[in-house]
Structure 1
Amino acid sequence: MGTFAVIYTYGTDTDTERDAIRPQHKDFLADLHATGRLRISGPIDSGAGALLVLEGESAAEITSALDEDPFRKHDLIADRSVREWTIVFGGLR
């Protein structure tokens, strides 16, 4: 099992729609967290994006899981980067 850092960059002028969809987005993330896949997440760049850290077998698996995010389904994410992350110091456990 690997650790993956995911960066979302939200589309411009999507604040109002993100506010409307946010409860569904948060429920989706809460479900991933409850299963242990999502370790941490939160907004970055003054809310222009988000950082998510997940555990999974591959970047493809993480990408597939995040395709179900309501923000993604409503085209509110302009860019998404999924990168395997090797933790050298500290930890998430």
Structure 2
Amino acid sequence: MATFAVTYRYGSDTAPARDQHRPRHVDFLQRHFDDKRLLLSGPFGADEQPGAELIWTAATKAELESLLDQDPFSVNGLIAAREIRQWNIFFGAAMVGA
């Protein structure tokens, strides 16, 4: 399994819709955290552009793209930009099981 860093960027006008869909988004993330595919995730700070960083494991980038397309935030058009990059962890690999 490879490790991937995923960056979500939200549109500035999506906050009300994100609040509406957040319970299903959190359920989606929790399910994949429980099965150890999602390793870390969280939103950026209040002074940053709205978005989040997520660290995933997957066999391929294409597999992860397909999975992320099922995120309720993605399904409902709340992610303005999504970047998926394979990440070769050097320091701290044991902390995330890489």
Q: TM-score range by the shorter chain?
A: over 0.9
Alignment-mate amino acid for residue 31 of structure 2 = D
CA distance in 2 between counterparts of 1:26 and 1:84 reads 23
5+ long unaligned stretches in structure 2:
none
Alignment of 1:82 with 2:80, yes or no, is no
SS of alignment partner, residue 86 of structure 1: coil
- 1:20 and 1:67 mapped to 2: Cα distance? 18
Q: Partners in 2 of 1:45 and 1:57 — Cα distance?
A: 30
- How far apart are 1:45 and its partner, in Å? 4.6
Q: Which amino acid aligns with 1:70?
A: P
TM-score by length of 1: 0.95
Written as runs of structure 1 = structure 2, the 5 A alignment for 1:4-83 is 4-46=4-46, 48-83=50-85
Q: Secondary structure at the residue paired with 1:21? A: helix
Gaps of 5+ in 1: none
Q: State the TM-score, normalized to the length of structure 2.
A: 0.90
Counterpart CA distance in 2 for 1:34 and 1:61 is 18
Q: How many residues align?
A: 93
Q: Percent identity?
A: 46
Once the 2 structures are TM-superposed, how far is the Cα of residue 12 of structure 1 from its aligned partner?
2.1
Q: For the residues of structure 2 that align with 1:4 and 1:37, how far apart are their CA atoms? A: 10
